[in-house]
Structure 1
Amino acid sequence: MSDQYQFSANTGFLWPDRPFIDRVRAAAAAGFDAVEFHDEAQSADTAELVDVLSSARLPVLGLNVRMGATAGCAAIPERVDEARRDIDQAIAVADRVGARGVHVLAGKTDAPGAEAAYIATLRYALSVSDLTILIEPICRQAMPDYFLGRLDQAQRILGEIDHPRLKLLFDCYHVQTEHGDVVARLKQCVDDVGHIQIASVPGRNEPELGPVAELDYATVLAAFRDAGYAGMFGCEYRPTDAGLRWRNELRE
């Protein structure tokens, strides 16, 4: 089995019919190399989660701050104090479970001052931990009122803050849907990328292989490696009954 590609199971999407802790066990049983969370860990029994992760021998790549009804609130000016509390909580949990990064979601807003609020909140997150802090552009089709919708917008914020631990969460579904040509987009910003997530387009289901797919991940992942990305690939997709054949084919 090739070790060229390693895959992280995103518990926010995979095994939706199971409780959170059981999703971690399922990731181990399915042969994933790591896990990554939405905000489930903040509501879990942390001691139990640590024990399960230890037994499963699965590292945690990252987790989200509390998402809530607005998909975070870091860019919502009147909720800056709440955003900082969410960051403190996420960092505390990340430290307990050994997570490598925290994704600070911007929230749904078009309020004046949203970018300044987001930048200030991100600077706070960087100041209170040594973890990688991630930001993710979410395409308008998936979430039309989310503040951070475009890759160029995210890159501008990265440039404004200019910190080595502030990185892009590059989700192929969102980038392809919003901009197209994920390979060219990745090449433009690969030095800023902290993690990559994968899913099919347009369905956001299992990654597809072959020339008829909008994103042929056999080609896409090889191009990402050639561009210099050496990390794992996060599996954040809505599973169908197709199973993990796609992953096994990529590993062969």
Structure 2
Amino acid sequence: MKFSANLGFLWNDRPLPAAIKAAKEAGFDAVECHWPYAVPASETKAALDETGLKMLGLNTVRGNVTIGENGLSALPGREEEARAAIDQAIQYATEISAGAIHVMAGNSSGPRARKAFIENLVNACDNAGSDITILIEPLNHYNAPGYFLSTVEQAADIIREVAKPNLKLMFDFYHVQIMGGDVTRRFEAALPHIGHVQIASVPDRGSPDHGELDYSFTLRRVRELGWAQPIGAEYLPANGAVPDLAWLASFKD
């Protein structure tokens, strides 16, 4: 299998271009990140070009993190800010040839929040064009209390309602296991909607070689179902930003 280093967690003590180079040296097949906007896109692109790695995706900004905001797109009344965040992400992704943008919903609930989210997703899909996939990701209520989107099934309903070909689901086995388990059956059911896959151990969100989920089985099943794209390693290294990578050689093809 192929794997992508999530540089929001791995080597996040280094500037983004240096983290991209570290991922290449470690043997990853691609990279992804959270919020790269403090680094000029030209510098990120130069590191990608040098290493030959593709940036699979990045996130829209969270908003005011000092008061706990975790995205803007499902916040009624904040549509202008949400669309500015989406435009910012599209511009950066275009400049570095990133494949996807995770549009963060934020902390909210109810029909007005759903309406705002759907309208912002339609706008994002239309503006992104055919070369960029828009992703939505359910987050568990332990790490992201109050987040609008919490289950795969809720996300699939929204994807069907938006009905845009470039809107897909980010299926993170860590979050899905916490929010209901039965991960391989739910992966198979959601497969037509899935645009990216991420992994981490449960419950500590460490490297994917221990914990509740047996990834030797889970990833074998993912491959059997036809998934061939790099899988995002979005986990918290045990020793700070430098990741433990013993698992990588055993899981790679």
Per-residue Cα deviation, 1:41-88 (whole angstroms, up to 9, x for no partner):
x22122111111111111011111112321210000111110101111
The residue identity in structure 2 corresponding to 1:79 is R
TM-superposed deviation, 1:190: 0.6
Asked if 1 retains the 8 angstrom alpha-carbon contact of 2:4 and 2:231, the reply is: yes
Residue number in structure 1 paired with 2:29: 33
Query: Quick one: distance in 2 between partners of 1:19 and 1:163?
Result: 35
Query: Structure 1: any 5+ residue segments left out of the alignment?
Result: none
Query: Quick one: distance in 2 between partners of 1:144 and 1:66?
Result: 18
Q: Which moved more, 1:60-69 or 1:198-207?
A: 60-69
Which of 215, 218, 223 is residue 216 of structure 2 equivalent to?
A: 218
Residue number in structure 1 paired with 2:196: 195
The residue identity in structure 2 corresponding to 1:154 is A
Asked if 2 retains the 8 angstrom alpha-carbon contact of 1:140 and 1:146, the reply is: yes
Residue number in structure 1 paired with 2:8: 12
In the TM superposition, 1:139-158 aligns within 5 A as 139-158=140-159
Residue number in structure 2 paired with 1:75: 74
Per-residue Cα deviation, 1:103-144 (whole angstroms, up to 9, x for no partner):
100011236500000000000001112211000000111111
- SS of match in other structure, 1:189: helix
Which of 49, 54, 60 is residue 49 of structure 2 equivalent to?
A: 54
Asked if 1 retains the 8 angstrom alpha-carbon contact of 2:207 and 2:236, the reply is: yes
- SS of match in other structure, 1:207: coil
Q: CA RMSD in A?
A: 1.4
1:237 equivalenced with 2:235 (yes/no) = yes
TM-superposed deviation, 1:205: 0.4
- SS of match in other structure, 1:240: coil
* Count of aligned pairs between the two proteins: 244
- SS of match in other structure, 2:123: helix
- Aligned-residue identity in percent: 43
TM-superposed deviation, 1:16: 2.8
Runs (4+) off by over 3 Å: none
Asked if 2 retains the 8 angstrom alpha-carbon contact of 1:190 and 1:228, the reply is: no
Asked if 2 retains the 8 angstrom alpha-carbon contact of 1:77 and 1:111, the reply is: no
TM-score by length of 2: 0.93
Asked if 2 retains the 8 angstrom alpha-carbon contact of 1:76 and 1:111, the reply is: no
Query: Structure 2: any 5+ residue segments left out of the alignment?
Result: none
Q: Call closer, same or farther: CA 1:112–1:191 in 2, change over 3 Å.
A: closer
In the TM superposition, 1:61-100 aligns within 5 A as 61-68=56-63, 69=65, 70-100=69-99
TM-score by length of 1: 0.93
Query: Quick one: distance in 2 between partners of 1:245 and 1:16?
Result: 19
Query: Quick one: distance in 1 between partners of 2:106 and 2:127?
Result: 21
- SS of match in other structure, 1:119: helix
Per-residue Cα deviation, 1:181-212 (whole angstroms, up to 9, x for no partner):
21111011111100000000001000016xxx
